């Protein structure tokens, strides 16, 4: 549980970026965490999970801590639901597989999302028509200031599109320790988003199940997204931007093939990958920093790119999309 000095973080981020942390340690309980952070300021602490949503642009002149809190435990069950409490250090996809094995429905559309459980509410991760807020029940988080553990309900988290209170309002104030999900015994299938139905047909699925939906999602993701073990990346680098309906209609009059999905509030969510591709970035490479050839939403490290190289590329992409479409892209990945 002791701290180490000047440790490489290359193995702890899926971009595979080389950066040195002045101090490094791991924790597997709230007591461990409290002991490690006792003499440090919250702004000088970097909590690492699966490292799949960060871009390290420089060495970290503070304390980097790897969350290794494990455990998957059923805490409540009735005729319709099952509540499962999961340690923040558990791998997300392994947890999804655990749910599939036990026929717990609700997270099958979120298969193969990289990272750990602790990041799921922080980012309100989502894919193929499902977000964490759809299955979230509560979480426990350690407060640096109060030196104790607080419980957060779904309302407390203030979930938005790839947003929660932990990203802005309470940034660097809490460490997520565990998350409890309310899963379904009777599945409610979500297959209308993206290419899921097409993939299910291709698979020859006759009877829908959470297992077949999961496999369809895995097939789609592996066909479009690079494996971080082979090519450094953090998945989708940018959020899909939303614009008012009238702005979308104006864009549609200029760019007839523009891709958009109507939100509940009437605004339209644009496909950031489509916007980026139209600006000519798909497959672009400069040195070892690039825009993935199969999915323009994914920035990649082909070997020895520095975090600053990836960041500079993302800045140029944002500028070019703004110039062509008048739409401002926002980074989904946390910049350190």
CB burial class (10 A; 0-12, 13-18, 19+) of residue 107? buried
d(CA 22, CA 7): 7
Q: Which helix (H) or strand (E) holds 226?
A: none
For residue 207, CA distances in Å to 110, 159, 196, 210, 330 come to 20, 33, 14, 10, 39
Query: Looking at 23, 162, 214, 267, which residue is catalytic?
Result: 162
Check the CA dihedral 246-249-251-254 and report its sign: negative
285 in catalytic set: no
Nearest to 272 by CA among 298, 295, 300, 241: 241
DSSP, collapsed to helix, strand or coil, labels residue 254 as helix
332 in catalytic set: yes
Query: Looking at 236, 242, 267, 314, which residue is catalytic?
Result: 236
User: Which residues lie across from 67 on neighbouring strands?
Assistant: 27
DSSP, collapsed to helix, strand or coil, labels residue 273 as helix
For residue 210, CA distances in Å to 61, 143, 251 come to 44, 36, 37
d(CA 61, CA 275): 36
d(CA 135, CA 106): 6
Contact assessment for residue 269 and residue 241, using Cβ atoms and an 8 Å cutoff: yes
236 in catalytic set: yes
Query: Looking at 23, 108, 199, 332, which residue is catalytic?
Result: 332
CB burial class (10 A; 0-12, 13-18, 19+) of residue 80? exposed
- Which amino acids are annotated catalytic? 162, 236, 332
């Amino acid at each position: 549980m002791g701290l180490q000095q000047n440790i490489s973080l290359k193995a702890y981020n899926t971009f595979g970026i080389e950066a040195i942390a002045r101090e490094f340690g791991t924790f597997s309980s709230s007591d461990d965490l409290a002991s490690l952070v006792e003499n440090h300021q919250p702004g000088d602490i970097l909590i690492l999970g699966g490292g799949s949503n960060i871009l390290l642009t420089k060495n970290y002149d503070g304390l980097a801590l790897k969350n290794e809190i494990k455990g998957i435990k059923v805490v409540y069950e009735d005729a319709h639901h099952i509540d499962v409490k999961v340690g923040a250090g558990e791998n997300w996809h392994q947890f999804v597989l655990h749910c599939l094995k036990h026929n717990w429905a609700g997270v099958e559309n979120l298969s193969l999302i990289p990272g750990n459980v602790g990041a799921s509410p922080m980012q309100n991760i989502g894919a193929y028509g499902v977000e964490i807020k759809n299955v979230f029940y509560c979480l426990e988080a350690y407060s640096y200031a109060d030196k104790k553990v607080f419980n957060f309900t779904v309302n407390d988290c203030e979930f938005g599109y790839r947003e929660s209170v932990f990203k802005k309002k309470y940034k660097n104030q809490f460490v997520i320790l565990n998350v409890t999900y309310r899963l379904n015994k009777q599945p409610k299938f979500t297959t209308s988003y993206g290419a899921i139905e097409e993939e299910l047909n291709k698979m020859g699925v006759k009877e829908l199940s959470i297992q077949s939906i999961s496999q369809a999602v895995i097939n789609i993701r592996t066909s479009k997204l690079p494996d971080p073990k082979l090519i450094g990346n953090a998945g989708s680098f940018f959020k899909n931007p939303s614009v008012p309906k009238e702005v979308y209609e104006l864009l549609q009059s200029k760019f007839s093939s523009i891709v958009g999905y109507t939100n509940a509030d009437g605004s339209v969510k644009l496909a950031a990958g489509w916007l980026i591709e139209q600006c000519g970035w798909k497959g672009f490479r400069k040195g070892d920093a690039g825009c993935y050839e199969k999915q323009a939403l994914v920035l990649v490290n082909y070997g020895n790119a520095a975090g600053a190289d990836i960041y500079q590329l993302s800045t140029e992409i944002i500028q070019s999309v703004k110039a062509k479409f008048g739409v401002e892209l926002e980074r989904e990945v946390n910049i350190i």
